[in-house]
């Protein structure tokens, strides 16, 4: 599939392994109030963190095809795991299309830490990726980086269990080892995790900084669109949502996280 001529009036395509990318979409909506967004939640296949890089790459290309078929002017990969596995493949396949991905905020965390120890909470796929290794090699030389796979956190967010005793206990089980290792700064390396930020901050305590990259990625999206002459100047933007899971499985969570009248359309499989 070739990319059609890009227009400022076209929508921006966003995809994630599930609902976590809504945390990034919030920032993108704030930065680009006039633009339309098409959001794909691949919740039927979540979480991506335990899947192979090859599977994630092929699935990301499928989702890219779907969004390009709806005429998008850019792709925003609102998923750290998919960015690590597939961003380069998407850029090579559609070189004329702006493709913006995620990156764990190790660089700002390195600048913020006082103890010299940074904790990174992310999926197994992100932590094992060559992209993450290269990031650490570039910006992590003068600090100690402690990584922790956030097993179970994506699933809790997908179920809408954002403040239950079980989720509190799960969050604490991941944060406590980072604190024990001396981390005074924690990076949220998965777009699902900002929905648990309150619990994470409570578990970490007031002396620990918690950093995510949602707004930085939204700024990068706006910059890329501006450089390409693709910013929509006027109007009030809309959102349209698809999910690969049954609509009733996530629609209540979507409405809680986004807006009361939001609804999923079925993503063709």
Residues known to be catalytic: 79, 190
Tell me the two tokens of residue 192.
């699902």
Integer Rg of the chain from CA: 18
Residue 139 dihedral angles phi and psi, to the nearest 5°: -120, -5
Whether the CB-CB separation of 211 and 105 falls below 8 Å is answered with yes
CA distance 167 to 65: 35
Kindly list the strands in the beta sheet with 12-16, ordered across the sheet, starting from the edge strand earlier in the chain.
99-100, 75-77, 12-16, 37-41, 239-243, 264-266
- Percentages helix, strand, coil for the chain (3-state, rounded to 5) are 45, 15, 40
Structure tokens belonging to residue 165? 């005793």
| Residue 115 near residue 178 (C-beta atoms within 8 A) | no
């Amino acid at each position: 599939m070739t990319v059609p001529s890009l227009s400022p009036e076209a929508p921006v395509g966003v995809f994630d392994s599930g609902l976590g990318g809504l945390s990034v979409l919030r920032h993108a909506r704030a930065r680009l109030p006039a633009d339309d967004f098409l959001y794909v939640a691949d919740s039927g296949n979540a979480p991506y963190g335990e899947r192979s890089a090859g599977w994630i790459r092929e699935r990301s290309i499928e989702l890219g095809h779907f969004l390009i078929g709806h005429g998008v002017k850019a792709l925003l990969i609102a998923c750290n795991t998919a960015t690590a596995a597939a961003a380069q493949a998407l850029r090579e396949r559609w070189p004329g299309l702006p493709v913006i991905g995620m990156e764990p905020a190790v660089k700002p965390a390195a600048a913020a830490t006082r103890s010299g120890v940074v904790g990174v909470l992310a999926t197994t796929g992100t932590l094992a990726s060559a992209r993450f290794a290269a990031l650490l090699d570039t910006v992590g030389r003068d600090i100690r980086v402690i990584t922790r796979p956030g097993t179970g956190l994506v699933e809790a967010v997908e179920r809408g269990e954002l403040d239950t005793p079980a989720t509190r206990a799960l969050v604490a089980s991941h944060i406590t080892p980072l604190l024990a290792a001396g981390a005074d700064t924690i990076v949220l390396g998965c777009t699902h995790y900002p929905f648990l930020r309150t619990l994470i901050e409570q578990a970490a305590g007031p002396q620990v900084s918690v950093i995510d990259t949602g707004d930085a990625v939204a700024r990068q999206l706006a910059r890329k669109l501006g450089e390409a002459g693709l910013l929509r100047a006027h109007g009030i933007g809309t959102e349209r949502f698809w999910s690969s899971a049954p609509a009733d499985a996530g629609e209540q969570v979507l409405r809680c996280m986004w807006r009361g009248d939001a609804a999923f359309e079925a993503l063709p499989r």
